[in-house]
């Protein structure tokens, strides 16, 4: 059975599973649509949270980043996992105690202001569409290679699947679909990692294979360092980023994780406050299975890629005899070869000798092909990549939907609509959001990881300070929260847009403020948010006594508190 047919069968089977779950778990009320009825078991919610969190950036891009960046790529591991510690300790139980449907709902009531609610809705929509653009690109990358369709067709297929189970099932359908998607994506990630670890190091545990010796008796990382320096790259285990930039990027990813609305809303779906903390713990366990494997996958892929392009003697392989994986990915445009010296040989290096342009987003997807693994493993990885992108897209689109129908319409512009009308508006908003997200997937503003870093910076600089001060600062008032969110998100967006899209040629450490890259600027935006919010709150009216009493009750999460709409 050829690869394409096998891919159609495996990916098609997973699609059928997702649609079947959506039909079984379809939402019958706004409570089902927004928070799955508030009755999801902590283990299932932890698994769904892991799938919601491990997007195309985690599955497709992260190992690619580490593979190309080496030691510097470790900031993504530290930041994206550390954010869950913040969630479990500082946010999840308190937000669950508050008992609301959405983050803008919390901000609107905590800061006793529809203006604050509206600003939060705008921030949520901006963050989610930015993040979703990266996921839709991930869908396009997977489909363009494995289903041999163009990116546009691939995105449209993905839109159709998400439309079905997000619009029909809401959070209830999405939750149980994400449980299935987690199982698919984690198997798709671990199976080839185990195979390649055995082939390269004779160790079936990739995390241990990462520190083992390869066939020639040298340690894997020592071999990578040698290859990297020989070919003009920095040593794989040496970092090139400044300490301040590493700190700011890690912090931005951590607080961005803790401020992402599609992750936070998952903690409203469990029955009790204690379950919210348990969910965060289980999510961290499920996420760690992939995140502890990613450095090994990155290193295996890097060694295999260099040796299949340059040959064992590092002199280059005849292009006419290029491995099939290179030909396959050339058709997608994500690998290109330019014979600079006219010798007919491919050569990959980090200096002027380089003749290969390789998109880092392909590393995980191409890894099984590079290692000559069976076709069913390659097809499984394709299914995993699609599952990762679709699971996160669904969560993001639901946040957009609920922000519009519940926070903007029900709680602000149209307070008299019925539950049935609100559910209808939620589904319409979800449908429109899917169309816009599809457009962004077809015309993405950047690479997957680049766009996702943008979303994290926005979340870090807008939501996180407003939520953390809303829980732990009784004196924080509506004016402080509003001006803080606006200043934080505008500063961060302007900085990233300038260096990433307006003037990318200036995107160098010499031009960055205080040596902070666009990936880390969300931390500075967060600090600006805190400063503006505190200063403004000091010179404006005090927070009402009843709101301070409400904050006091949130900080002692002894009751469950159902998700309510009051």
Looking at residue 413, the DSSP 8-state letter turns out to be: I
CA 263, CA 275: separation in Å to the nearest integer?
15
Q: Has residue 33 got a pLDDT over 60?
A: yes
**Share above pLDDT 70 across residues of the chain, in percent, rounded to a whole number:** 91
Q: Which helix (H) or strand (E) holds 345?
A: strand 345-346
Q: Which residues of 61-73 are buried (b: 16+ CB within 10 A; e: fewer)?
A: bbbbbbbbbbbbb
Q: Which of 74-78, 349-353, 391-395 has the highest mean pLDDT?
A: 349-353
Q: Which of 151-165, 244-258, 419-433, 530-544 has the highest mean pLDDT?
A: 530-544
Angle at CA 409, nearest 5°, toward 406 and 412?
A: 100
Q: Has residue 559 got a pLDDT over 50?
A: no
Is the distance from CB of 537 to CB of 475 less than 8 angstroms?
Answer: yes
Place of tokens 């203006």: 115
Q: So what's the pLDDT on residue 167?
A: 67
Asked whether the CA dihedral 23, 29, 35, 38 is positive or negative, the reply is negative
Q: So what's the pLDDT on residue 562?
A: 46
Q: So what's the pLDDT on residue 449?
A: 56
Is the distance from CB of 481 to CB of 469 less than 8 angstroms?
Answer: yes
Place of tokens 């709902």: 105
Other C-beta atoms within 10 Å of 204: how many?
A: 12
Domains of the chain, first to last: 3-301+373-468+520-527 (1.20.1730.10)
Q: Which residues of 516-540 are buried (b: 16+ CB within 10 A; e: fewer)?
A: bbbbbbbbbbbbbbbebbbebbeee
pLDDT band at 189 (very low <50, low <70, confident <90, very high): very high
Work out the angle between the directed axes of helices 375-402 and 151-201 (0-180°, nearest 10): 130
Mean pLDDT across 272-289: 84
pLDDT digits (tens, 9 = 90+) for 194-253: 999 999 999 999 999 999 998 888 999 999 999 999 999 999 998 888 899 999 999 998
343 contacts: CB under 8 Å, gap ≥ 6: 316
Q: So what's the pLDDT on residue 300?
A: 93
Looking at residue 318, the DSSP 8-state letter turns out to be: E
Is the distance from CB of 380 to CB of 188 less than 8 angstroms?
Answer: yes
Work out the angle between the directed axes of helices 545-554 and 103-110 (0-180°, nearest 10): 140
pTM of the model: 0.81
Q: Has residue 35 got a pLDDT over 80?
A: no
Task: State the number of CA atoms in the 13 A half-sphere of 186 facing the CB.
Answer: 21
**Residue 133 token pair:** 């653009």
Q: Which of 16-30, 107-121, 207-221, 279-293 has the least mean pLDDT?
A: 16-30
In 102-170, the DSSP E strands lie at: none
Q: Concatenated DSSP letters for 190-249?
A: HHHHHHHHHHHHS-S-HHHHTTSB-TTSSBHHHHHHHHHHHTTSPPTTS--S-HHHHHHH
Helices (H), 292-362: 294-310, 324-330
Q: Which of 51-60, 529-538, 539-548 has the highest mean pLDDT?
A: 529-538
Q: So what's the pLDDT on residue 229?
A: 92
pLDDT digits (tens, 9 = 90+) for 348-381: 998 889 999 988 878 888 899 899 898 889 888 8
Asked whether the CA dihedral 90, 93, 94, 95 is positive or negative, the reply is positive
Asked whether the CA dihedral 139, 128, 103, 403 is positive or negative, the reply is negative
Q: Which of 133-147, 270-284, 503-517 has the least mean pLDDT?
A: 133-147
CA 523, CA 496: separation in Å to the nearest integer?
12
**Residue 165 token pair:** 């189970």
Q: So what's the pLDDT on residue 563?
A: 46
Q: So what's the pLDDT on residue 560?
A: 44
Q: So what's the pLDDT on residue 566?
A: 42
CA 515, CA 517: separation in Å to the nearest integer?
6
């Amino acid at each position: 059975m050829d690869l394409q047919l096998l891919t159609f069968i495996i990916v098609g089977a997973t699609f059928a599973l997702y649609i079947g779950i959506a039909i079984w778990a379809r939402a019958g009320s706004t409570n089902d649509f927004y928070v799955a009825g508030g009755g999801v078991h902590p283990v299932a919610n932890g698994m769904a949270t892991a799938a919601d969190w491990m997007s195309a950036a985690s599955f497709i891009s992260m190992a690619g980043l580490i593979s190309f960046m080496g030691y510097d790529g470790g900031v993504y591991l530290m930041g994206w996992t550390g954010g869950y510690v913040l969630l479990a300790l500082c946010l999840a139980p308190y937000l669950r105690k508050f008992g609301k449907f959405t983050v803008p709902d919390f901000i609107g009531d905590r800061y006793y202001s529809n203006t604050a609610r509206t600003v939060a809705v705008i921030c949520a929509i901006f963050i989610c569409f930015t993040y979703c653009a990266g996921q839709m690109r991930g869908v396009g990358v997977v489909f363009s290679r494995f289903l041999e369709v163009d990116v546009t067709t691939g995105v449209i297929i993905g839109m159709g699947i998400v439309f079905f189970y997000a619009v029909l099932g809401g959070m209830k359908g999405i939750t149980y679909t994400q449980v299935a998607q987690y199982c698919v994506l984690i198997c798709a990630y671990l199976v080839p990692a185990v195979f390649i670890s055995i082939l390269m190091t004779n160790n079936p545990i990739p995390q241990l294979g990462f520190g083992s010796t390869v066939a020639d008796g040298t340690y894997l990382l020592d071999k990578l360092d040698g290859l990297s320096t020989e070919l003009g790259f920095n040593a794989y285990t040496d970092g090139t980023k400044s300490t301040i930039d590493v700190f700011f990027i890690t912090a931005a990813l951590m607080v961005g994780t803790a401020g992402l609305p599609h992750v936070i809303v998952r903690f409203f779906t469990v029955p009790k406050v204690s379950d919210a903390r348990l969910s965060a713990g289980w999510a961290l366990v499920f996420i760690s299975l992939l995140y502890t494997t990613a450095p090994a996958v990155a290193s295996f892929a890097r060694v295999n890629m260099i040796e299949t392009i340059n040959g064992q003697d590092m002199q280059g392989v005849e292009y006419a005899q290029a491995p099939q994986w290179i030909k396959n990915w050339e058709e997608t445009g994500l690998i290109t070869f330019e014979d600079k010296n006219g010798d007919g040989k491919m050569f990959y290096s980090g200096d002027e000798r380089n003749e290969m342009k390789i998109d880092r987003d392909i590393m995980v997807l191409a890894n099984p092909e590079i290692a000559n693994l069976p076709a069913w493993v390659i097809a499984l990885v394709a299914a995993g990549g699609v599952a990762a992108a679709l699971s996160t897209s669904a969560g993001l689109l639901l946040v957009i939907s609920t922000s519009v129908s519940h926070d903007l319409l029900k709680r602000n512009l149209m307070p008299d609509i019925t539950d049935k009308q609100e559910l209808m508006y939620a589904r319409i908003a979800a449908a429109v959001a899917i169309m816009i997200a599809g457009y962004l997937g077809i015309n993405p503003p950047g690479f997957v990881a680049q766009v996702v870093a943008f979303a994290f910076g926005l979340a870090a600089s807008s939501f996180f300070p407003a939520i953390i001060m809303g829980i732990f600062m009784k004196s924080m008032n509506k004016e402080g929260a509003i001006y803080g969110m606006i200043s934080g998100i505008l500063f961060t967006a302007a900085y990233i847009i300038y260096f990433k899209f307006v003037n990318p040629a200036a995107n160098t450490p010499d031009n960055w403020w205080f040596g902070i890259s666009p990936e880390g600027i969300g931390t500075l935006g967060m600090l600006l948010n805190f400063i503006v919010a505190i200063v403004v709150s000091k010179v404006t009216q005090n927070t009402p006594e009843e709101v301070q009493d409400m904050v006091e009750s949130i900080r002692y999460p002894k009751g469950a508190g159902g998700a309510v709409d009051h």
